[in-house]
Structure 1
Amino acid sequence: MIDKQVSFKEAFKVWVRVAIHSFGGPAGQIAVIHKILVEEKKWISENRFLHALNYCMLLPGPEAQQLATYIGWLLHRSKGGLVAGILFVLPGFISILILSILYAAYRDIGIVEAIFFGIKPAVLAIVIGAVIKIGKRALKNEVMVTMAALAFVAIFFFQVDFPYIVVVAGLTGFIGGKLWEEKFYVIKGHGEKSEEESAYFIDSHIRPVKPSLVKTLKTVFLFFSLWALPLVLIALWVGVENIFFSEGLFFSKTAVVTFGGAYSVLAYIAQKAVEDYGWLKSGEMLDGLGMAETTPGPLIQVVQFVGFMGAYRFAGSLDPMMAGILASILVTWTTFIPCFLFIFTGAPYIEYLRGNKNLTTALSGITAAVVGVVLNLGVWFALHTLFGKVNESHSLGIRWLIPEWATIDVPSLVIGLIAAFVYFILKWEMLKTILVSVICGILYYFTFL
């Protein structure tokens, strides 16, 4: 058993480290959190980590950021969750704000394009590593493997919405736990810790506290008030017929429908932003997605770029750049405040019920499905990183993504192989791997393009 306490100062340093390593979308980010907190620091065991991840996957919003917030809350309650969640977003916010300013003012900057070109293959290697690592730890038996495979087929080939997959996986786990307990009860609750799990700080020291309805209602009121505050101030100050109120309201709505991660809502955001509101021009959404994919932080941070460009174009009497910066802050606020609401409200109940076998077997089923969803993200990212054109076709209700082999991006493939070599074979850290890829990208870009 670990006797050493985890100080808030030590946790703060680790959350900074997690934040600056959080490349690669949800798959890569979850792998980073796992590597640092489970494998290196031994703050949280595999079972406790997966239990928290299961809950975060059920929520709308960025699951990796919510997972960090959840574990931060376990360590140091509200202040720990706030620090973990805010730090997870901060590097991406700063990066995308800088890139948005450069994009709006200078658009075609060679060094920026070169950096983007180099980072993507490294992110691909990191995502592949995440799929392998999470799969090995979550899929305890052939039943779990089968459920992961079925989830992948459902979301990748049949485009089944993620919430439906979660519901079916949860029901399967619940029923399966009653009929075939040894195959479904794979994530243990408190009171059933192995000797190995006792080596983890949270498992050894953090005990669930019975949730309080009064405290829950206070938390809901507080975060709903914070969520609505900027919209109320804007409405009172300048009315509702302005770009800031429109963006604040729109992204408050999208914050509660982003089930299954950012990819599930990007098409909706793109359609509204381009066709209905005119905030973006055709094709600019992909540029914003490139920024979000190649900077630390949640992929849904792409909404910041959308908000910036919308306010930049419809600044009214304000300076366009200042309008874009203010919109970036507003959109980030309305997107992530709900994440803290969901974690601080729900986590106490999820932790308290962790020993409940019915809940645990249901969450075990969801865990397996999550692996299939992460694999789906990995395949999607690989296709769009390595090929210039990927055709989508439908037959008999099946969605096929078929890359045009003539458009294969050989330089990206080569850089990706280099990144895979230093990451998997040489066991280099993530930032070193990304740095190598960036250098390769810059050398290729300025030598051959």
Structure 2
Amino acid sequence: MSQVEKKGDVESQTDAPAQPEIKEATSGTPSDDDDQGLDDNSKVPQMSYLKLFWFFFYNFGLFAWGGPVAQIALIKDKLVTKDKWITLPRFQRVFSVYQILPGPEAAELSSYLYTLAGFENKYFNASFRSLQPIVAAMILRATHKIAEHSVRKHDTKKVDPFLIVAAVCTAINCALRLNIFISLGLYGVLYMFIARRLWIPAGVIFVLQYVGYAIYVVFRGVPSPVSLALGVARTPSLIHLFVLGLVSGTLSFGGAYTAIPFVQVEAVLLGAWLPQSVFIDGIAIGNILPAPLVIFATFVGFQGAYLENGSVGNGFAGAVIITLGMFFPCFMFTIAGHNLLEKLVRNQFLASFFDGLCGSVIGVIAMIAAQILKASVEGTLDKVKDKTLAEAVTGTGQVGPAAVLYVLALAVLYKFTNKYAPLFLVIAGAVAGQFIFVD
């Protein structure tokens, strides 16, 4: 037998098993009952780079209205529930692992048009005033979608009361100004004890978090709103913006939502170089556009650098530099450390830790959703004292319509699940703002 024939036999032997695997990848349906998401049970079809790009662009980019929470909900619904690329337990485990990693989901620039429209343009501001409560409704609805599976047991599919407690208590801790990262780590460890039925250690840890908080309050007082601030961006210079992005990206455990309070405290509260109303508009833009929420940091960088000297070029430089800072931890941890992350996802000992952390993340996102709701409905009430009587009356009178818009938007999102519903709300809200909020 010739070498060519031998080589052909070897190739046919090695290639033979591959055909059933490809067929299974395109038609197989992984079962959630096969494992707890610890094995490589993915059934991902083989695609060309072009098809893969178009698939994600069309399904999760073009229609990702509502920011990263909506995007995650879309990914879960399409790839897990409908197409069955991976099982739900594995999706939850991967989601949990990536929540403990710093870094945003993605970024793009959009601040220039905002600046061109002008901060004092009443028509522009009216549309944004109308869109803010609508965006808040989108975030809450998407949070509910994610929570539907994040607080369930993998084996029985029943709601796990301990994961609900983790979510609720994390939200309460956020309201008490307890550091987010403490809650994430604490409830991950606590659920490890609960999963192993070690009730006494779990109970001790749960009680100690509030005992420790009470002791802190007695001796130091209630944590300040600027307790997260490190003072890395007291002025919006380019170097300060880069450091702000780098630190925010490094500390954004749980995704871009956990970076919101840190950027806010540095830019709005401590540095005071970015108005609160502009910051809220940045959050709205990050959720309105079909892009992940980290765009808000790019927006902050542009506005900060632009407001410093009025130069559009400096604004673009600030946007780019803060985005580079935000991206660096993301690429370093998720791409360079991919193999390590896969090991974490499939580690049986840490599985319960990630389940507890995932429940805790829901509490963080829910609290951020509540804060955005409050800010979007109240609008500029925080500045009423500095306005004339007529302006104060106008600002107060906008609260009612904003609340009505929120309720209506939430009703539409729950009634209509079509992917075009958020787009319709954005367009309708922008138009409605011209009739409701234009003086």
Give CA deviations for 1:54-76 in whole Å, capped at 9, x if unaligned: 112112233xx1xxxxxxxxxxx
Partner of 1:151: 170
The 5 A counterparts of 1:4-403 are: 5-7=45-47, 8-17=49-58, 18-62=60-104, 65=105, 88-89=106-107, 93-99=108-114, 101-103=115-117, 106-140=118-152, 141-156=160-175, 158-179=176-197, 243-262=237-256, 264-266=258-260, 268-270=262-264, 272-273=266-267, 279-280=273-274, 284-314=278-308, 320-388=311-379
Cα distance in 1 for residues equivalent to 2:271 and 2:171: 34
Check conservation: 1:123, 1:294, Cα contact below 8 A: yes
In the alignment, which of 422, 430, 436 is matched to residue 433 of structure 1? 422
The structure-2 alpha-carbon separation of the partners of 1:382 and 1:6, relative to structure 1 and needing over 3 Å to count, comes to farther
The alignment-based identity, stated in percent, is: 22
Cα distance in 1 for residues equivalent to 2:270 and 2:186: 34
Cα distance in 1 for residues equivalent to 2:122 and 2:57: 30
Cα distance in 2 for residues equivalent to 1:151 and 1:162: 8
Give the C-alpha shift of residue 121 in structure 1: 3.4
Cα distance in 1 for residues equivalent to 2:132 and 2:52: 30
Give CA deviations for 1:359-408 in whole Å, capped at 9, x if unaligned: 111111112212222222222222223334789xxxxxxxxxxxxxx767
Query: 1:371 is matched by which residue type in structure 2?
Result: I
Cα distance in 2 for residues equivalent to 1:275 and 1:415: 28
Q: Does 1:409 align with 2:399?
A: yes
Query: 1:342 is matched by which residue type in structure 2?
Result: F
Give the C-alpha shift of residue 265 in structure 1: 4.6
Q: Does 1:442 align with 2:431?
A: yes
The structure-2 alpha-carbon separation of the partners of 1:110 and 1:432, relative to structure 1 and needing over 3 Å to count, comes to farther
Bigger shift: residues 30-39 or 439-448: 439-448
Check conservation: 2:132, 2:281, Cα contact below 8 A: no
Q: Output the aligned Cα RMSD.
A: 3.4
Cα distance in 2 for residues equivalent to 1:433 and 1:268: 28
Query: 2:137 is matched by which residue type in structure 1?
Result: A
Partner of 2:20: none
Cα distance in 1 for residues equivalent to 2:171 and 2:195: 22
Secondary structure of residue in 2 paired with 1:3: helix
Check conservation: 1:148, 1:369, Cα contact below 8 A: yes
Partner of 2:26: 3
The two structures have a TM-score, normalised by structure 2, of 0.67
The structure-2 alpha-carbon separation of the partners of 1:356 and 1:436, relative to structure 1 and needing over 3 Å to count, comes to closer
Give CA deviations for 1:284-327 in whole Å, capped at 9, x if unaligned: 43443443343343334223233223433456xxx922222233
The structure-2 alpha-carbon separation of the partners of 1:282 and 1:30, relative to structure 1 and needing over 3 Å to count, comes to closer
Give the C-alpha shift of residue 113 in structure 1: 2.6
Please, which runs of 5 or more residues in structure 2 have no aligned partner?
1-23, 28-44, 153-159, 203-235, 383-395
Cα distance in 1 for residues equivalent to 2:169 and 2:247: 31
The structure-2 alpha-carbon separation of the partners of 1:119 and 1:286, relative to structure 1 and needing over 3 Å to count, comes to closer
The structure-2 alpha-carbon separation of the partners of 1:389 and 1:15, relative to structure 1 and needing over 3 Å to count, comes to same
Q: Which has the larger radius of gyration?
A: 2
Secondary structure of residue in 2 paired with 1:144: helix
Please, which runs of 5 or more residues in structure 1 have no aligned partner?
66-87, 185-241, 392-405
Cα distance in 2 for residues equivalent to 1:294 and 1:147: 29
Cα distance in 2 for residues equivalent to 1:426 and 1:272: 39
The structure-2 alpha-carbon separation of the partners of 1:48 and 1:246, relative to structure 1 and needing over 3 Å to count, comes to same
The structure-2 alpha-carbon separation of the partners of 1:176 and 1:329, relative to structure 1 and needing over 3 Å to count, comes to same
Give the C-alpha shift of residue 51 in structure 1: 0.9
The two structures have a TM-score, normalised by structure 1, of 0.66
Query: 2:85 is matched by which residue type in structure 1?
Result: W
Aligned length in residues = 342
Check conservation: 1:387, 1:407, Cα contact below 8 A: no
